[in-house]
Amino acid sequence: MIETERQRLSAVAHVTSLMWGPIDEATLDDMVEQVASLEIGPGSRVLDLGCGPAELLRRIVERTGASGVGVDASPFALDEARARTARSSVGDRIELRLADAQQMDRRPAHDLVLCIGPGWDAGGWSELTGWTAGFVAAGGHLLLGQGSWRRVPTVGELRMLGMELGDYPPTDAVEAIVARAGVEVLWSHRASREDWDAYGERYRGAMLKFARSSPDDPIAAAARDRSGEGWRTYELLHALLDFVLLLGKPGAVASRS
């Protein structure tokens, strides 16, 4: 599957999802309030790397009065982001860019940098933390979301997933990894199995509906496979993975990296 088809399939799968991950409304509200408790307000700059539909960015701008930039390599994700910001009163304070976040210039620095479930190989929690912190202004903050192992997978499970044990750390090691990367952890949250189940139900249901309504579409076969026989792989992944959200403040070393 070529990249544009993969991006479109992701947009189709998330058409009924508020956030493109196992994050419910209550958790989204909590993240926004955590940010609002910081010194983020009018004049502050917020950067969302891999923004998807920019739901979190939009809500933070609405809540705090800050301005924001959302960056994503998927034109389909940005179409959804533009539609959502167009319905908001803060659309004039949000810039949406079609670009590879990994190629972004780190200047100007931002007061808050978001990177929730990046859609690329971020290299693990340590690498993601250090890379994201490089976009943060002195005294600023970052808000990250990434996977971790809820339990240690077996060799057979890893083989089925086409993954390696080192792809994720265990959940109870995440905060220590982030701290070693130079970031003080201020708040964290882990998705529950119920969050994963609700997310999976929306994700699979959207693909099933699309495959049935558009059987001749170029990505219909992939949607049928992923929501049918291939869903066993996703169920296993959701059973093994946590999704950790973490708000932190980079130290002097991390913020200059």
Instruction: Give residue-wise pLDDT tens across range 137-173.
Output: 999 999 999 999 999 999 999 999 999 999 999 999 9
Q: Does the structure show a pLDDT above 60 at 253?
A: no
User: In the sheet that 136-149 helps form, which strands lie side by side, from edge to edge?
Assistant: 94-98, 67-72, 45-49, 110-116, 136-149, 241-250, 183-190
pLDDT of residue 107: 85
Tokens of 151: 């339990």
pLDDT of residue 252: 43
Per residue in 19-69, pLDDT (tens digit) is 999 999 999 999 999 999 998 999 999 999 999 999 999 999 999 999 999
Element (H, E) at 95: strand 94-98
Q: Which residues pair with 37 in a beta bridge?
A: none
Per residue in 77-127, pLDDT (tens digit) is 999 999 999 999 999 999 999 999 888 888 889 999 999 987 667 678 999
Per residue in 183-237, pLDDT (tens digit) is 999 999 999 989 999 999 999 999 999 999 999 999 999 999 999 989 999 999 9
Tokens of 145: 């979301």
Q: Which residues pair with 115 in a beta bridge?
A: 144
Identity of the amino acid at 68: G
CATH topology of domain 3-256: Rossmann fold (3.40.50)
What is the distance, to the nearest Å, from the Cα of residue 180 to the centroid of all Cα atoms in its chain? 22
User: Could you count the other beta carbons within 10 Å of the beta carbon of residue 98?
Assistant: 12
Per residue in 7-25, pLDDT (tens digit) is 999 999 999 999 999 999 9
